[in-house]
Structure 1
Amino acid sequence: MTSPALPFHDRLLAETVRERNALIAIPIIQEALAGRIALDDYTAFLTQAFHHVRHTVPLLMACGGRLPARLEWLRTAVGEYIEEEMGHHEWILDDLQACGADRAAIAGGEPSEATELMIAYAYDTIARGNPVGFFGMVLVLEGTSVALATRAAETIEHTLGLPRNAFSYLRSHGDLDIEHTGFYEQLMNRLEHEDDRCAVIHAAKRFYKLYGDVFRTLRDGRDALAEAA
C-alpha cells in the first residue's frame, strides 16, 4: 500500500528547508534577534524593504494578468492580495521618518544592487517563465515575516529605544502574514499541475538566496565609507 502524497504546501516547505535555514542564519538577522543592531542597520533594512515592497502590487498585477484561464481561481486570489497590499510601502516611509531618516530622499533613491536583482528576477519569472512561480517569492517574504518580524521588532525597539511608531511595517507584517499563511497554504494545495508546483519550488529557492543577499549586503555601503576614511 503506497502512502498518500504530501499536500503540495508541505512538500514546498520540505524542499526549501535548506534555503530557509540559510537565510535565517545570516549574521545580521541573528544579531538583530539578539539585540546587537545599530540604528543604521535598521534604517538600511527599511530602505531596502521600501524599494522592494513598492513593487508588490505591480508584481501581483503582472502575475494576475499572465495566469492562464485554468487558474482563474488563483487570479481571484491575486486580486485579494492586491487589495490587502495597497499602500504598504508608505508604512515603511512612515517608519523611516520616525527613525529620523529623510523620507523624500529614500523615496526618490535607488535600491541596492541585491534588491534590484531580486525585483528584476521577480518580473522575469512572471514575464518569461511560469507566472505561478511568483508565489515562490510570496513564500519567502511572508514566511520570513511570520518567523522573524514581530520578534525582531520587539528586540530592536528595546535595544535602540525607538518609538513604537517606528515599527508599523514589522509589527503589522508579523501579524498580517500569520493570517496570510493559512490562505497561502490553501492556494498552494490547490495547484494540480506539476509544472506549476515545480515553478513555485524553483522560484522559492532562488528568492531565499536573493532575499538573503539583501541582508548580506546591508552594511556594504557603510563598510566602503569606513575603508575610504
Structure 2
Amino acid sequence: MSAGTAVSASTALRARLRLTAPAVRSATAAMWRSPGLGPRYGGYLAAMHGVIRASVPLMERAVLRCAEVGPAERVFGPADPVCGPLADYLRGHIEEERGHDDWLLADIAALGGDPAAVLDRQPPPVVARLAGAQHYWIEYHHPVALLGYIAVLEGNAPAPWLADRIAAAGVPEAALRTVRGHAELDTGHTAALFALLDELPLDPSLVNAVVMSALHTVDGLVELFAHIGRAAEPDHSRERTHTS
C-alpha cells in the first residue's frame, strides 16, 4: 500500500468496530432494558468488578513488558519505537483508572450487596477470557495489543442518560457512582487513545494486533452482557418440575 493510500491505525480500528456496532447495540439494549433492570444492575456491578479490577494490573504489566522488550532485550529488533510512548501513555492512564474497582465495591454495598462476597467469589469464565487474552498477548506478542481492549471498554462506557434510567428502576443514587463517573470520563479517554494510535509508529502486524484484541473484546463484552441477563432471570426450573 502506498503512502498516499495508507490507512491510519485509528481509522482501521474504527472501521472494524463499526462492523460490530449492531451486535454491541443489541447486547447493550438487552442489558439496560427497563423490565428487571434493578436485579440485573446488581449482577452488572459484580461482573464489572471482575473486569475492572484487572485493568490497572494489566496496564502495569504492559509497562513492565515495554521495558523488557525495549533496548535491553531487543526482542522486536533494534530499540522498539512503540514501547516508549506506549509506556508513557499507560503510566498516565493507570493513575486515571486507579481505584475504580473500589467504586464498584462501594456501589455494591450501597445497593445492599456484600463486597466481601464479591471479592471471594470466582469471576465467571467470560471475565477470565476478557482479561486473560490480554495477559497472553502482553506476555507473548506485544503490549500494544492492550490498546484494543481499552478502546472497546472505554468506547462502550455507560451513556450519560443511563444512570437516570437505573435510578428510575429503584436503584439508590449512592449505588450509581461508577456509572456516572465513567459516563463523564471515558469519552475523553477514548479520544486520547485513538490519537495515540495514530502517533505510534505501528507496522501492519501491530495494527492487526490492536484490531484483533479489540474484536476479541467486543465478543467478550457481548457475551458478558448476555451472561448477566441470564443470571438475573428467575429460576423457573422448580416450577416446571412440579407441573410436569
Return the TM-score normalized by structure 2.
0.84
Aligned partner of 1:149 in structure 2 is 159
Report how far residue 219 of structure 1 moved. Answer: 3.3
Aligned partner of 2:78 in structure 1 is none
Gap runs ≥5 in structure 1: none
Aligned partner of 1:15 in structure 2 is 16
Q: Does residue 43 of structure 1 match 2:51? A: no
- AA in 2 matched with 1:227: S
Aligned partner of 2:173 in structure 1 is 164
Separation (CA, whole Å) in 2 of partners of 1:123 and 1:220: 27
Separation (CA, whole Å) in 2 of partners of 1:201 and 1:172: 27
Aligned ranges for residues 45-194 of structure 1 at < 5 Å?
A: 45-67=44-66, 68-69=69-70, 70=81, 71-145=83-157, 148-158=158-168, 160-192=169-201, 193-194=203-204
Separation (CA, whole Å) in 2 of partners of 1:141 and 1:101: 24
Tell me the number of residue pairs that the alignment of Structure 1 and Structure 2 aligns: 224
Return the TM-score normalized by structure 1.
0.89
Report how far residue 171 of structure 1 moved. Answer: 0.9
Report how far residue 10 of structure 1 moved. Answer: 2.0
CA deviation string 1:4-60 (max 9, x = no partner): 53432122111221223312212xx21454433332200101101001111111100
Greater Cα shift, 31-40 or 130-139: 31-40
Separation (CA, whole Å) in 1 of partners of 2:188 and 2:208: 25
- AA in 1 matched with 2:225: F
**Native 8 Å contact 1:126 1:133 kept in 2:** yes
CA deviation string 1:99-146 (max 9, x = no partner): 11112111221111211221211211211222211111001100000x
Separation (CA, whole Å) in 2 of partners of 1:215 and 1:111: 14
Q: Does residue 197 of structure 1 match 2:207? A: yes
The percentage of counterpart residues that share the same residue type is 24
More helix by share: 1
Separation (CA, whole Å) in 2 of partners of 1:205 and 1:32: 20
Please, what is the CA RMSD of the aligned residues?
2.0
CA separation of 1:33 and 1:45: change in aligned 2, threshold 3 A: closer
Higher-Rg member (1/2): 2
Aligned partner of 2:75 in structure 1 is none
**Native 8 Å contact 1:95 1:167 kept in 2:** yes
